[in-house]
Amino acid sequence: MREAMQYFHSAESSKLPRQARSVTLKLAVAAAALMCGTNNATAQSATPYPNQPIRVIVAFGAGSATDITFRRLEPFMSRALGQQLIIDNRAGAVGMIGAEAVKRARPDGYTLLYTAASHSIQAALRPKSLPFDAVRDFTPIGRAFTTSGLIAVNPSVPVHNLKELIEYSRNQPKGLSFAAGGFGSSHHFQGEALRARGANLVLVPYAKIAQGISDVIGGHVPMIIYSTDALTPHIRASRLRAVAVNSEKRQKELPDVPTILEQGYKGTGSGSWSGLLGPAGLPVPIRNRLYSALEGAVNDPQTVKTSTASGLEEGLMPPDEFRSFMESDIAMWADVVRQAKLPLDQAPTD
């Protein structure tokens, strides 16, 4: 600015005509503004990321497995990044409301998405009506965990294994209701696998699964299929009875609960996962900084202890690998949708 005004004063002293001096003044002011804008942009780009709190939209309600998982990670990530991560629960439409909010956010690293396998499943179920592309409209930052699904009942339900559960469901005139996330959640799909084996099951979808868990404990809904992570405390406290776990082997924290395969049945072939995404166009340095913080949080000894105790398995994937995984995950679920002959592009039920 000083140099520009000095130029103007020198022009004025040269006794230019008034009109010429006016034009010169306008040019000097414009040049000064451009210089200031350039300096401001340079200063902003030089500011280290992050320099303010980061909002993380969790695509499911408080008390859900995805929410519980990220709340374990948040303190360690906040410490690593030097800024508070603020959790914003955006439940509804099986995770799609939260995802759409992040899709529309600026790719500056201050609005992120923590979501789960339903992100892939909805892409398979709603190929035409989904308001975004589940991969291209996001920047995969990193996968954090995988988890198995647990089939459990209220203790008043007279079943102790899958064979008894299937037989019991067949004797219910209106079918056996089970709580899970919305239509198209990974746990709903585990119920579809049991239906293929002859179970007479009826989905009761919950946008906020904490309410579903409470309803099963209270006896309002007889059965639930949900993550081992969220249900294990209730199994231990005898508020729920475990029937089977959908994993390749028994869980360390529930060693007496047999797998679906042990009982002669086949599950969906896939458990759930959770991971961190940003809007499309997130700068690579910011993406890498966030993955580094995520990786450190997942591997922290305290996180390892608490996650293992609740049935979570470390499933870290860096950004590029996570992107490839999401693409193959969507293709796998699309195949499940075709085999189950599920209707496409229905409106979400939660």
Rounded-to-integer distance, Cα 342 and Cα 345, Å:
10
**Token reading at 288:** 């890498």
Calculate what percentage of the chain has a pLDDT beyond 70: 84
**Is residue 42 predicted with pLDDT exceeding 50?**
no
Q: Given CA atoms 24, 26, 29, 30 in this order, what sign does their dihedral have?
A: negative
Would you say 149 and 226 are in contact if contact means Cβ atoms under 8 Å apart? Answer: yes
Q: How many CB atoms lie within 10 A of CB 12?
A: 14
Domains present along the chain, CATH in parentheses: 54-147+271-340 (3.40.190.150), 149-246 (3.40.190.10)
Determine the average pLDDT of the residues in 82-87.
Answer: 98
For the chain, helix (H) and strand (E) counts, in that order, are: 12, 11
* 239-251 per-position pLDDT tens digit: 999 999 988 788 8
**pLDDT above 90 (res 324):** yes
Q: Kindly give, in sequence order, each residue whose CB lies less than 8 Å from that of residue 189, ignoring residues fewer than 6 positions away.
A: 121, 268, 333, 336, 340
Tokens, residue 267:
């599950």
Residue 34's DSSP bridge partners are: none
pLDDT digits (tens, 9 = 90+) for 285-315: 999 999 999 999 999 999 999 888 777 888 9
Helices 2-13 and 18-46, axial angle in degrees (round to 10): 170
Helix (H, G, I), strand (E, B) or coil at 306: helix
Q: Rounded to an integer, what distance in angstroms lies between the CA atom of residue 9 and that of residue 230?
A: 73
For the chain, what's the residue count? 350
Give residue 7's pLDDT: 41
CA distance 26 to 260: 78
pLDDT band at 35, cuts 50/70/90?
low
Query: Of 217-221, 250-254, 267-271, 344-348, which range is least confident?
Result: 267-271
Q: What average pLDDT does range 154-161 have in this prediction?
A: 98
Question: pLDDT digits over 55-71, tens only?
Answer: 999 999 898 889 999 99
| pTM confidence score | 0.72
Sequence-separated contacts (24+) of 24-29 with Cβ below 8 Å:
28/4, 29/4
Residue 346 — very low, low, confident or very high, per pLDDT cuts 50/70/90?
A: confident
- What distances in angstroms separate CA 218 from CA 38, 155, 223, 234, one per listed residue? 63, 10, 11, 12
Q: Which residue has the higher pLDDT, 184 or 24?
A: 184
- Separation of CA 289 from chain center: 19
> Any idea which of 13-27, 300-314, 335-349 has the lowest mean pLDDT?
13-27
Which has the higher per-residue pLDDT, 257 or 149?
A: 257
In this structure, how many other beta carbons lie within 10 angstroms of the beta carbon of residue 220?
A: 14
pLDDT band of 171, cuts 50, 70, 90: very high
